Each structure stands twice: as C-alpha cells, then as structure tokens.
C-alpha cells in the first residue's frame, strides 16, 4: 500500500450497544472526516432515534441481519471484507 | 507501531481487565511495543496496597507491576479520573504518567484497543 | 521420600504456599533433574517473582525475558534455561518452584 492511499483519519470500530457508556464516549471522540464502523450490538444504533450517528457511518451486514435490521437503509452496509479494507486504508484505528 | 490498550472499567468486577492484561503480556512476549492507559473507574487498578486474597482473586496491582519487567513501555492514567477517585501520587503505582486529556493520549497512538 | 503436597494433573502444586526446597527436589527428580546452584538461582528468582506479582511469568518467552532482566544475557536465554529445565523451561521451572502453570504455555 502506498502512502497516497492511506486516509489520514481515524477508523472507529464500535461494538457496544447504544446504552453502553462507551457508546457515547466514542461518538464524542469523533473528529471531522473520521469513519464510524458499527459492529455487534452497536448496530442497534440504526434503530435508536437518540443515537445521533455521524454522516460517515457504516454497519456490518451480518450483524444487522442477525438482529432483523438489514432492511434499515440509513447507514451504508458493509461486509467483513470491507471492514478489513477500511482498517488497511486508515492510518489510525480505535477498537472501542 | 505501539499498541495502546485502554482499560476503562474497575478491577475485580469483571474479567475484561484481566483479558486486557493478557493482551499486553502477549504483545510483550512477541516484542510488539505496548502501552496501557487507565481511564474512568479503570484508574483504580493502579492503587497501592490492594489485597484480593479475601475475594479469591489475584491482586491486579501486583500483576500490573510485572508489566515493565516484560518490556511494556508506558503506563498512562487520566488525571481527572485520578483526582475523582482520590488517587494521589503516593497512592498509585510508581512510574505512572498522568495525561490531561484522553483525546490527547489517543492521538499519540495509531493502534488503540479498548478492553472488554 | 516425603509425601508431596496436593498437585494438579500436570504436576503443579495446588497451593504455592505448600512448597519447600525438599518438595522441589522431589518434583525435579521426576524429570531426572538433580538440582544444583544454577537451578536454585532460577527457582529462588521465580519464588520471589511470584511473591511480588502473584503470578508465574505468563509465557515461556516472558520467563526468558524476566530472567534476562534479572541476571543478564548469559542466563536470560532459551538455551541456558532449556539445559537447566528441559522441555518448556517456564513450565518445568514453575512446576519445580511450586508456582502455578504459566497461563499461555501451550
């Protein structure tokens, strides 16, 4: 991978449900241009009207499907492979 | 690249912190640089004179004191959390570096993993 | 032969507090190891490590690292430690020193 392809922003991988204290901490730590990837219980945020998700937000399809939320279109749905690619593209990763 | 492991939960209540410690020791075993950051109630890991024998557990402060022996480079703690939990200089493990803001600490590392 | 304190199925003492130097000699004899002063140096080091940290060095690599930190390169290397404690040195040495099994030694 060349330097040009690396995005100088942070990828935040969040797997805590919206009622977990770390969910709010993570959202408060987001900077402009950062990407938020929702995994495991964090995907419940797509159906939580109080979640306040950022524009750059993606969610793992398998976790949405598992919870009956795959029909929800308000975030971009990604695969495990996409998540690996995002991790490689970003210069920094935080696993919350 | 140094991996920063963040512990934000109090010791003894759950296994998540111990898993974090295992992660740090595993990184150290393979000479991967690692650092620890304690925030929120997690700073209670750092208190001196813990004795967990009575609750049938190992004392985390003593376990943690082995980290520098294995090459863990830095142990950081959130200053405001230390103040909140009354963890003054004499009350905490030696060699802990206080950081004024969690965001600043996160900015110093490229790979960050929260425990548990 | 004295009666050995309670041990688990891998020969590790159930209670590190029940260890004595005689127990160490008996456990070592099971592996055909006759303890000399080089063995005792490492055993004493492990006993002290356990007292301070309430755990065994968690893996063989970290055992070697801890010995290196304490005694330098001449002793803190796998070849030296493997000659003293054949097999997986951390496991063999912890068993003889009466410590729990290192958690990450496969």
Nearest-CA distance from B78 to chain C in Å? 24
Per-residue pLDDT, averaged over A20-49, amounts to 93
Domain assignment present for residue C9? The answer is no
C-alpha to C-alpha distance for A60 and A43, rounded to whole angstroms: 8
Number of Cβ within 10 Å of residue A35's Cβ equals 21
Helix (H) or strand (E) holding C30: helix C21-30
What is the span of the domain harbouring residue C43?
A: 16-97
- Cα C21 to its chain centre, rounded Å, is 12
| B-contacting residues in C 34-93 (Cβ below 8 Å) | 49, 52-55, 57-59, 61-62, 65-66, 69
Domain assignment present for residue C10? The answer is no
Domain CATH for B74: 3.40.1260.10
C-alpha to C-alpha distance for C62 and C90, rounded to whole angstroms: 9
- The one-digit pLDDT tens for each residue of chain B (116 residues) are 899 999 999 998 888 888 898 899 999 989 899 999 999 999 999 999 898 888 888 899 899 999 988 989 899 999 999 999 999 999 999 999 999 988 888 889 999 999 88
Domain assignment present for residue B51? The answer is no
Q: What is the total count of domains within chain A? A: 1
Joined together, the tokens standing for residue A69 give 């939320």
Query: Do A and B make contact, counting contact as 3+ CB pairs within 8 angstroms?
Result: yes
Task: Give yes or no: C105 in active site.
Answer: yes
Domain assignment present for residue B35? The answer is yes
Q: What is the total count of domains within chain B? A: 1
Q: Using an 8 Å CB-CB cutoff, list chain B residues near A41.
A: none
Contact assignment for B112 to A91 by CB distance below 8 Å: no
Number of Cα atoms under 13 Å in the Cβ half of residue C78: 7
Question: Cα–Cα distances in Å, from A13 out to A24, A84, A96, B68, C16?
Answer: 13, 11, 6, 29, 42
Query: What pLDDT does B111 receive?
Result: 93
Of A92, A28, A13, the residue nearest B109 (C-alpha)? A92
Reduced to 3 states (helix: H, G, I; strand: E, B; else coil), residue C105 is coil
Q: Which chains touch A (3 or more CB pairs under 8 A)?
A: B
Q: Using an 8 Å CB-CB cutoff, list chain B residues near A25.
A: 8
What is the span of the domain harbouring residue B41?
A: 3-45+59-114
List own/partner pairs for A14-18 with CB under 8 A and 24 or more apart: A14/A38, A14/A39, A14/A42, A14/A96, A15/A39, A15/A40, A15/A41, A15/A42, A15/A95, A15/A96, A16/A40, A16/A41, A16/A42, A16/A96, A17/A41, A17/A42, A17/A44, A18/A42, A18/A44, A18/A45, A18/A48, A18/A50, A18/A51
Tell me the percentage of chain C whose pLDDT exceeds 70: 96
Helix (H) or strand (E) holding A12: strand A7-14
Contact assignment for A94 to B110 by CB distance below 8 Å: no
Q: What is the total count of domains within chain C? A: 1
Joined together, the tokens standing for residue B22 give 């295992």
Interface predicted TM-score of the whole assembly (ipTM), two decimals: 0.84
Concatenated DSSP letters of chain B: -PEEEEE-S-SSS-SHHHHHHHHHHHHHHTT--EEEEE-GGGGGGGBTT--GGGGTS--HHHHHTTTGGGT--EEEEEHHHHHHTT--GGGB-TTPEEES-HHHHHHT-SEEEE--
C-alpha to C-alpha distance for A81 and A14, rounded to whole angstroms: 17
Of B34, B42, B36, the residue nearest B80 (C-alpha)? B42
Joined together, the tokens standing for residue C39 give 């063995």
Domain CATH for A89: 3.40.1260.10
Query: What pLDDT does B56 receive?
Result: 85
Most B CBs within 10 A among A24, A27, A92, hence the mutation to make, goes to A92
Query: What pLDDT does A3 receive?
Result: 46
Domain assignment present for residue C90? The answer is yes
Angle at alpha carbon of residue B43, lines to B47 and B29, rounded to 5°: 90
Domain assignment present for residue C31? The answer is yes
* pLDDT tens sequence across C41-87: 999 999 999 999 999 999 999 999 999 999 999 999 999 999 999 99
By the CB < 8 Å criterion, does C103 face chain B?
yes
What is the span of the domain harbouring residue A31?
A: 3-95
* C26: confidence class by pLDDT, cuts 50, 70, 90: very high
Q: What are phi and psi of C35, to 5 degrees?
A: -75, 125
């Amino acid at each position: 991978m060349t330097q040009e392809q690396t995005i100088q922003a942070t990828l935040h991988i969040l797997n805590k449900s919206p009622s977990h204290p770390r969910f709010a901490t993570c959202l408060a730590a987001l900077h402009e241009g950062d990407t938020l990837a929702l995994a495991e219980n964090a995907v419940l945020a797509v159906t939580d009207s109080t979640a306040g998700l950022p524009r750059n937000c993606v969610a793992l399809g398998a976790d949405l499907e598992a919870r009956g939320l795959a029909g929800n279109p308000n975030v971009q749905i990604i695969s495990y492979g996409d998540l690996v690619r995002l991790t490689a593209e970003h210069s920094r990763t935080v696993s919350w | 690249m140094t991996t920063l492991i963040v512990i934000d939960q109090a010791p003894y209540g759950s296994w998540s912190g111990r898993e974090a410690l295992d992660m740090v020791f595993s990184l150290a075993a393979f000479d991967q640089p690692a650092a620890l950051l304690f925030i929120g109630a997690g700073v209670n890991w750092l208190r001196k004179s813990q004795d967990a024998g009575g609750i049938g557990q190992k004392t985390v402060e003593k376990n943690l004191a082995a980290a520098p022996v294995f090459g863990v480079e830095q142990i950081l703690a959130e200053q405001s959390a230390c103040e909140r939990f009354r963890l003054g200089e004499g009350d905490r493990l030696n060699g802990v570096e206080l950081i004024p803001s969690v965001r600043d600490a996160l900015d110093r590392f490229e790979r960050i993993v929260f425990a548990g | 032969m004295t009666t050995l304190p309670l041990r688990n199925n891998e020969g590790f003492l159930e209670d590190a507090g029940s260890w004595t130097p005689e127990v160490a000699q008996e456990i070592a004899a099971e592996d055909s190891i006759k303890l000399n002063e080089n063995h005792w140096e490492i055993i004493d080091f492990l006993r002290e490590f356990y007292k301070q940290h309430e755990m065994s060095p968690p893996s063989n690599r970290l055992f070697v690292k801890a010995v290196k930190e304490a005694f330098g390169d001449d002793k803190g290397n796998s070849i030296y430690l493997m000659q003293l404690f054949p097999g997986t040195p951390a496991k063999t040495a912890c068993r003889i020193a009466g410590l729990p099994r290192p958690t990450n030694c496969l």
